[in-house]
């Protein structure tokens, strides 16, 4: 442990030395020698300098990943890959305190929320699959002459590009299936929050892994990220981020028609029926928007409330929003930390002004919190906008801040239709005591995940992905492996 901040202390790894790139098993500076600053959003201070990787560094990393893919890594047995995953899980578990602190200080995740062991669980879940990837024998129409079967083979060199809102778990969600399937990778973390992914790189170097299996290149999206997604020797891009950048990735991938999987943005509906248990629905739907300061892809930001309970719900969720403690992410009491950066702060406060000018009624928050010690950080009060209608920008566009749009509805049919009236299809929620209605609504919402009388539950065994502009493919769960595998059909002539 290093510097004491007056709250939790910062990890010792923040020792002032510039962070390097992990290429072919070695920590190296960017070829250009350039670096960039990483900030603590709770106070705007620079906490680290990172290597500014660019096309040249991506080229080196891709070459290393290709060599590793064809070299000793390809000889690892499934059981050996499983062991690698289990060892990495142990190392992440042993270092979870520091890794969580890094996310807390780098992107503002409140430290008091306790350690999330989802990264460890994810690695152990995938470890189990490493020994269970198998093809099939397939009956063909000429069995006397031909024997036919399929093999599942790793897709090859994977470029993984991740956002800043959950750096540790996002990095692990890409690394785990790569190791499971025998692929190799170049990970490009987000410029705003690369410290925990780099710390995972340190742990990876403690494994018995050939160099070049996992490479990490920090840098900017429009240079390093673009070079990776258009690279002719990358076989697949696994991207998590905004729908806008997802479109850029698809265009860049067209050059060699590499495989693409996309986990993108959302504007998810959370539907509260009049028969719901409001004691559960108020905090549940509230945290579905405000958790991680609203910087959650599947946040339930469009809260549809049935007319008879509309005013009561608005009053109660507004009181809930007002009760949340906003503060420095290293303060153990903090429930809502800062927005990740000045750029995102400006974006979120811009939407607060848009909501007011569109005629929404502000019933909680509605402004930046810039008092005392918090003035230098990027804090926004949990905000509730009532009297929102479907056509307002605050009901259609992803704000990625702690902003709930609360909309009244009158019937099941109406809310079924309106809940799908966006370009996105990521998450959704239903709150009701009527089990039949819960199932009907879960079926009606056109998204990748629906939660009933709960929200934001995740498990490595449950698939996660989006429809429409929210993405292509799934992460987590058994079927996510297919995103990293090619099927090969083999015919054997058994005839004379
Ligand atoms: P973003 O701006 O799209 O950035 C995501 C990543 O893409 C970053 O590493 C970024 O690099 C990189 N990038 C930017 N432009 C690029 C380009 N032209 N080519 C290649 N890479 C490029 O998204 P964000 O603001 O970091 O993250 C928030 C978004 O992610 C939200 O829309 C959220 O909903 C979505 N998200 C989705 C999921 C999901 O599972 N569906 C999960 C989490 C977040 P730099 O940061 O260095 O510029
Ligand atoms: Mg930062």
Are 73 and 210 in contact, with CB atoms under 8 Å apart?
yes
User: Ligand 2 center to residue 320 CA distance, Å?
Assistant: 28
Q: What is the DSSP letter of 26?
A: E
- Helices and strands, number each (H, E), in the chain: 14, 25
Residue with CA at minimum distance from ligand 1 atom 26:
163
Domain extents in the chain: 21-264+471-488, 269-458
Are 198 and 218 in contact, with CB atoms under 8 Å apart?
yes
Ligand nearest to the CA of 193: 2
Give the atom of ligand 1 at the shortest distance from the alpha carbon of 244. 3
What is the C-alpha to C-alpha distance for residues 129 and 147, in angstroms, rounded to an integer? 27
Q: Is the pLDDT of residue 4 over 60?
A: no
For 55-99, what is each residue's pLDDT tens digit? 999 999 999 999 999 999 999 999 999 999 999 999 999 999 999
| Closest to 426 (Cα-Cα) out of 270, 304, 251 | 270
Ligand 1 binding pocket mutation candidate from 30, 34, 162, 163 (most atoms within 8 A of CB):
163
What is the C-alpha to C-alpha distance for residues 277 and 63, in angstroms, rounded to an integer? 56
User: Ligand 2 center to residue 376 CA distance, Å?
Assistant: 14
The set of protein residues with a Cβ atom below 6 angstroms from ligand 1 is 161-165, 188, 190-192, 220-222, 225-226, 229, 240-242, 245, 248-249, 263-266, 297, 398, 400, 426, 466, 471
What is the C-alpha to C-alpha distance for residues 316 and 478, in angstroms, rounded to an integer? 40
Ligand nearest to the CA of 329: 2
For 250-290, what is each residue's pLDDT tens digit? 999 999 999 999 999 999 999 999 999 999 999 999 999 99
C-alpha neighbours within 13 Å on the C-beta side of residue 143: 4
pLDDT of residue 397: 98
For 116-159, what is each residue's pLDDT tens digit? 789 999 999 999 999 999 999 999 999 999 999 999 999 999 99
Give the atom of ligand 1 at the shortest distance from the alpha carbon of 426. 41
Q: What is the DSSP letter of 481?
A: G
For 293-351, what is each residue's pLDDT tens digit? 999 999 999 999 999 999 999 999 999 999 999 999 999 999 999 999 999 999 999 99
Residue with CA at minimum distance from ligand 1 atom 9:
190
Average pLDDT, stretch 166-176? Answer: 97
User: Ligand 2 center to residue 356 CA distance, Å?
Assistant: 30
Residue with CA at minimum distance from ligand 1 atom 46:
190
User: Ligand 2 center to residue 465 CA distance, Å?
Assistant: 26
Assign domain 21-264+471-488 one CATH number from 3.30.1330.90, 1.20.58.390, 1.20.1740.10, 3.40.605.10: 3.40.605.10
Confidence of residue 3 (pLDDT cuts 50, 70, 90): very low
pLDDT of residue 13: 83
Ligand nearest to the CA of 224: 1
Active site residues: 263, 297
Mean pLDDT for the chain overall: 96
What is the C-alpha to C-alpha distance for residues 398 and 389, in angstroms, rounded to an integer? 15
Whole-Å CA distances, 188 to 31, 45, 197, 244, 316: 16, 23, 9, 17, 42
For 180-192, what is each residue's pLDDT tens digit? 999 999 999 999 9
Give the atom of ligand 1 at the shortest distance from the alpha carbon of 161. 9
Are 110 and 210 in contact, with CB atoms under 8 Å apart?
no
Whole-Å CA distances, 192 to 17, 41, 198, 265: 18, 9, 13, 18
Q: What is the dihedral of CA 48, 229, 474, 432, to 10 degrees?
A: 60
User: Ligand 2 center to residue 109 CA distance, Å?
Assistant: 11
Residue with CA at minimum distance from ligand 1 atom 43:
297
User: Ligand 2 center to residue 40 CA distance, Å?
Assistant: 5
What is the C-alpha to C-alpha distance for residues 329 and 76, in angstroms, rounded to an integer? 42
Tokens at residue 170, please?
A: 């996002």
269-458 is classed CATH 3.10.450.50: no
What SS3 state is found at 271? Answer: strand
C-alpha neighbours within 13 Å on the C-beta side of residue 312: 13
For 172-196, give the DSSP string. Answer: HHHHHHHHHHT-EEEEE--TTS-HH
Average pLDDT, stretch 108-115? Answer: 86
Give the phi and the psi of residue 336 in degrees, each rounded to 5.
-125, 115
Q: Is the pLDDT of residue 1 over 50?
A: no
Residue with CA at minimum distance from ligand 1 atom 45:
221
How many other β-carbons are positioned within 10 Å of the β-carbon of residue 67?
Answer: 17
Q: Is the pLDDT of residue 2 over 70?
A: no
Tokens at residue 278, please?
A: 């409001």
pLDDT of residue 305: 99
User: Ligand 2 center to residue 35 CA distance, Å?
Assistant: 14
Q: Are strands 236-240 and 157-161 parallel, antiparallel or unpaired?
A: parallel
Sign, CA torsion 362/367/373/378:
positive
Tokens at residue 391, please?
A: 């056509």
Tokens at residue 453, please?
A: 């009388």
Q: Are strands 236-240 and 259-263 parallel, antiparallel or unpaired?
A: parallel
Average pLDDT, stretch 453-457? Answer: 97
Are 362 and 382 in contact, with CB atoms under 8 Å apart?
no
Residue with CA at minimum distance from ligand 1 atom 12:
221
Confidence of residue 465 (pLDDT cuts 50, 70, 90): very high
Confidence of residue 11 (pLDDT cuts 50, 70, 90): confident
Give the atom of ligand 1 at the shortest distance from the alpha carbon of 228. 20
pLDDT of residue 496: 63
Is this structure's pTM higher than 0.85? yes
Average pLDDT, stretch 364-376? Answer: 96
Q: Is the pLDDT of residue 211 over 50?
A: yes
Residue with CA at minimum distance from ligand 1 atom 16:
221
- Classify burial at 75, counting beta carbons within 10 Å of its beta carbon; exposed 0-12, middle 13-18, buried 19 or more: exposed
What is the C-alpha to C-alpha distance for residues 435 and 377, in angstroms, rounded to an integer? 44
Ligand 1 binding pocket mutation candidate from 34, 164, 187, 221 (most atoms within 8 A of CB):
221
């Amino acid at each position: 442990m290093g510097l004491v901040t007056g709250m939790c202390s910062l990890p010792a790894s923040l020792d002032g030395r510039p962070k390097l790139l992990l290429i072919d098993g070695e920590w190296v500076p960017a070829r250009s020698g350039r670096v960039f600053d990483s900030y603590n959003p709770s106070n705007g201070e620079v906490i680290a300098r990172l290597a500014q990787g660019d096309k040249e560094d991506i080229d080196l990393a891709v070459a290393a990943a290709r060599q590793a893919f064809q070299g000793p890594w390809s000889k690892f047995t499934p059981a050996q890959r499983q062991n690698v995953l289990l060892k990495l899980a142990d190392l992440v578990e042993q270092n979870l305190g520091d890794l969580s602190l890094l996310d807390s200080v780098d992107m503002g995740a409140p430290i008091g929320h306790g350690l999330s062991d989802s990264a460890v669980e994810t690695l152990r879940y995938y470890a189990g699959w490493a020994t269970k990837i198998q093809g099939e024998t397939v009956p063909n129409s000429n069995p006397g002459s031909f024997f036919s079967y399929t093999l599942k083979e790793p897709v090859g060199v994977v470029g993984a590009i991740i956002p800043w809102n959950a750096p540790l778990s996002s990095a692990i969600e890409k690394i785990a299936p790569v190791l499971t399937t025998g692929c190799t990778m170049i990970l490009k973390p987000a410029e705003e929050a690369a410290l925990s992914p780099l710390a995972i790189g340190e742990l990876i170097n403690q494994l018995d892994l050939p160099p070049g299996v996992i490479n990490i290149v920090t840098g900017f999206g429009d240079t390093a990220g673009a070079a990776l997604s258009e690279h002719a020797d990358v076989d697949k891009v696994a991207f998590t981020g905004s729908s806008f950048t997802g479109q850029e990735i698809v265009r860049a991938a067209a050059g060699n028609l590499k495989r693409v999987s996309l986990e993108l943005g959302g504007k998810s509906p959370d539907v509260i029926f009049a028969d719901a248990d409001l004691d559960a629905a108020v905090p549940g739907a509230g945290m579905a928007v405000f958790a991680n300061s609203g910087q959650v892809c599947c946040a339930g930001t469009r809260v549809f409330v049935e007319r008879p309970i509309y005013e009561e719900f608005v009053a109660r969720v507004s009181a809930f929003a007002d009760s949340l403690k906003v503060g420095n992410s290293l303060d153990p009491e903090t429930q809502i930390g800062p927005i990740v950066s000045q750029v995102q702060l400006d974006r979120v406060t811009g939407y607060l002004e848009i909501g007011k000018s569109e005629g929404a009624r502000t019933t909680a928050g509605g402004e930046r919190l810039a008092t005392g010690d918090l003035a230098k950080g990027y804090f926004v009060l949990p905000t509730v906008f009532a009297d929102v209608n479907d056509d307002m920008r605050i009901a259609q566009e992803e704000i990625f801040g702690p902003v709930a749009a609360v909309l009244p509805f009158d019937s099941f049919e109406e809310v079924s239709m309106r809940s799908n009236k966006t370009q996105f299809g990521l998450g959704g929620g239903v709150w009701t005591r009527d089990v039949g209605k819960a199932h009907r609504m879960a079926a009606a919402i056109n998204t990748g995940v629906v939660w009933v009388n709960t929200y934001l539950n995740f498990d490595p065994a449950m698939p996660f992905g989006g429809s429409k502009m929210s993405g292509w493919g799934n992460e987590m769960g058994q079927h996510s492996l297919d995103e990293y595998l090619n099927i090969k059909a083999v015919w054997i002539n058994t005839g004379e």
